[in-house]
Amino acid sequence: MAVKGEFRTIDRIKNILLPSHRKDVKVGIGDDCSVLDVGLEKEYLLLGSDSIVDGRHFLYNIPDRSLIGRKAVGVVLSDVAAMGGYPLALTVDLGVPDYIESEHLEEIVFGMKFLLDLFDVDVVGGDTVKSDVLYLSVSVVGKVEKEKVVLRSGAKKSDWIWVSGPLGGSLYKRHLLVSPRIPEARFLVQNFHPTAMIDISDGLVRDLFHILEKSNVVAELVKDKIPVHKDARDWEEALYMGEDFELLFTLSEDESKRMMASIGSLLYRFYPIGKIVDGGAVGLYLRDGRSCYPLSPRGYEHF
Amino acid sequence: MAVKGEFRTIDRIKNILLPSHRKDVKVGIGDDCSVLDVGLEKEYLLLGSDSIVDGRHFLYNIPDRSLIGRKAVGVVLSDVAAMGGYPLALTVDLGVPDYIESEHLEEIVFGMKFLLDLFDVDVVGGDTVKSDVLYLSVSVVGKVEKEKVVLRSGAKKSDWIWVSGPLGGSLYKRHLLVSPRIPEARFLVQNFHPTAMIDISDGLVRDLFHILEKSNVVAELVKDKIPVHKDARDWEEALYMGEDFELLFTLSEDESKRMMASIGSLLYRFYPIGKIVDGGAVGLYLRDGRSCYPLSPRGYEHF
């Protein structure tokens, strides 16, 4: 979710639409999901949406088209995970060109169904329209306990930076095989207090910058600590390639030490990759042995 | 909302996705919005989405492009109205081709903003992606009091059939100028008890058939009672053209007489156009003087 891309028009669109003026909108445009207080005592509602388009985010001519449906649903469920929440229901809009064969469309929907069943989510509506290009636009409604919601804006000096899995090389094949880190996120918010969280879609560096900008802090990544996926051809892909759909989060130093102490015995494996070293400014450095380089927020550009 | 179109694939998609198995989904695919019981004491949540695509539902090359944004938002708000509810928040996915100019995209968003401000709705998220065709996919979250929600399935024998305004001729120009009948719908559910409701997007006859099928009843429309819009070139357009975005609803005979008695003094004007004449079967007839013709569910085909 969140209007993506380095594209000045998007900022102009945001400026037209912002600010949110409804009191029940706790967090509007600018996080992985929006947060709505609809009147529940203990929970907020989460709302998000994502689009994927043929030729941009997937290719229609792949052998297993169920992966297209899996990706469409996976990326939006990943947004819910990044808030610490869990999904309830989806709407699915399909833009379907004439050249799409019925069986292929069914394959795509079976790919959705796989994740729906896995996470107990229902498709409750949507729209199917003719279109010159195949697109899938999925919106999600989820929930999160009020005291457990995690935004991008809470990272503090001395917090440690963590990821939920190895990064890099996703675009060679893994990027369609999205496994939203909902169980991992729920485990995290139930046992720890992440101060900020995002899912890695644009790349570690770019998505970390989203946290740094919202939190107004400076971070240092430690090169040797970054888990590089076996699919990566180059370790820099772990920094910049994106579409990993792992969780990137910050934990206080105390909680980080508690997590380190139990690592190996935890249900899920998390990797500490750096620290928040300062507040009051935005910046990112990469420590490589005794050297330290500044990093800029380039990365895979989706738009 | 609701997966539309006479297209066997859509039925197959539905069959893959159905049934909804979550207990909190009161109404899933198949009404104007889905109805979720998320744990509020007095209200249900409404969820819906709609897509519009360049060359299918609008033309990018029109003088006033704000109407494109207005339509995208209007149709989904109209879905909320058709449930008797009111909208809270939207997500907007935009698929944007390279040939779209920034100023035009802003115009489109200003068209959205017009309806957002009118109905106190926030855009709280979305996704902007590159696409070979311009599309707008909008999802909505709304609310409705539990005892006021109106489905398509409640029409009963002897109910009268009503519409909220003149029909026909919309596609010549009015179809972009969507004015979601939210105030009308709220007035209705607060002062009467509609037994079934839908918004007219596919055409009076087709959309009435949706009510008749869900309610398992037979209806008779009275030709002379159907209000024909001045834009219509032919009275049959009132039956079949669609994109009127007026409310089509049924009221018990008693309530209908009560409405008739106060017509003219009510805040909004509604038009009685026929009656539910039988139950236990599905059918539709048009009474024209002493003649009576069966009608079939043809109409403007969106898909």
ipTM above 0.90, yes or no: yes
Domain ranges, residue A212: 160-294
B155 within domain boundaries: no
- Which of B7, B8, B113 lies nearest to residue A17, judging by beta carbons? B113
User: Which own/partner contact pairs does B222-227 have at CB distance under 8 Å and 24+ positions apart?
Assistant: B222/B273, B222/B274, B222/B286, B222/B287, B223/B286, B223/B287, B223/B288, B223/B289, B224/B288, B225/B271, B225/B272, B225/B273, B225/B274, B226/B163, B226/B167, B226/B271, B226/B273, B227/B163, B227/B165, B227/B166, B227/B167, B227/B271, B227/B273
Residues of A in contact with B92 (CB under 8 A): 49
Instruction: Note whether A106 contacts B13, CB cutoff 8 Å.
Output: yes
B150 within domain boundaries: no
Statement to judge: residues B170 and B134 lie in one domain: no
| Domain end among A90, A110, A143 | A143
pLDDT digits (tens, 9 = 90+) for A249-287: 999 999 999 999 998 888 899 999 999 999 999 999 999
Statement to judge: residues B81 and B124 lie in one domain: yes
Statement to judge: residues A197 and A128 lie in one domain: no
A7 within domain boundaries: no
Other C-beta atoms within 10 Å of A14: how many?
19
What CA–CA distance (Å, rounded) separates B240 from B200? Answer: 10
Statement to judge: residues A169 and A240 lie in one domain: yes
Statement to judge: residues A169 and A136 lie in one domain: no
Classify residue B29 by its DSSP letter: B
CATH for A136: 3.30.1330.10
- Which of B9, B93, B303 lies nearest to residue A102, judging by beta carbons? B9
- Which of B129, B133, B302 lies nearest to residue A302, judging by beta carbons? B129
Sheet containing strand A86-96, edge to edge, reads: A25-27, A34-36, A43-53, A135-145, A86-96, A122-130
pLDDT digits (tens, 9 = 90+) for B165-210: 999 999 998 899 999 999 999 999 999 999 999 999 999 999 999 9
Percent of chain A exceeding pLDDT 70 equals: 96
Q: Which of B20, B57, B60, B139 to mutate to test the interface with A (most CBs of A within 10 A)?
A: B139
| Domain end among B145, B175, B207 | B145
A257 within domain boundaries: yes
Statement to judge: residues A98 and A184 lie in one domain: no
Chains A, B: CB pairs < 8 Å: 265
Statement to judge: residues A127 and A191 lie in one domain: no
CATH for B255: 3.90.650.10
Which residue on chain A is closest to B119 by alpha carbon? Answer: A22
Residues of B in contact with A51 (CB under 8 A): 93-95, 127, 129, 131, 137
What's this model's pTM, rounded to 2 decimal places?
A: 0.94
| Domain end among A143, A170, A193 | A143
Which residue on chain B is closest to A144 by alpha carbon? Answer: B38
A86 within domain boundaries: yes
The alpha-carbon radius of gyration of chain B (Å, integer) is 19
B290 within domain boundaries: yes
B239 within domain boundaries: yes
**Short-list A85, A79, A81, A77, CA closest to A112:** A77
Contact in structure between B91 and A50 (CB atoms under 8 Å)? no
Task: State how many domains chain B has.
Answer: 2
A30 within domain boundaries: no
Percent of chain A exceeding pLDDT 90 equals: 86
Residue ranges, chain B, pLDDT below 50: 1-6, 300-303
Statement to judge: residues A168 and A247 lie in one domain: yes
Statement to judge: residues A183 and A290 lie in one domain: yes
Statement to judge: residues B286 and B201 lie in one domain: yes
Residues of B in contact with A21 (CB under 8 A): 120, 122
What CA–CA distance (Å, rounded) separates B200 from B178? Answer: 11
Classify residue B198 by its DSSP letter: E
- Is the pLDDT assigned to residue A76 strictly greater than 80? yes
Tell me what pLDDT residue B294 has.
95
Statement to judge: residues A241 and A288 lie in one domain: yes
Residues of B in contact with A112 (CB under 8 A): 17
Statement to judge: residues A136 and A169 lie in one domain: no
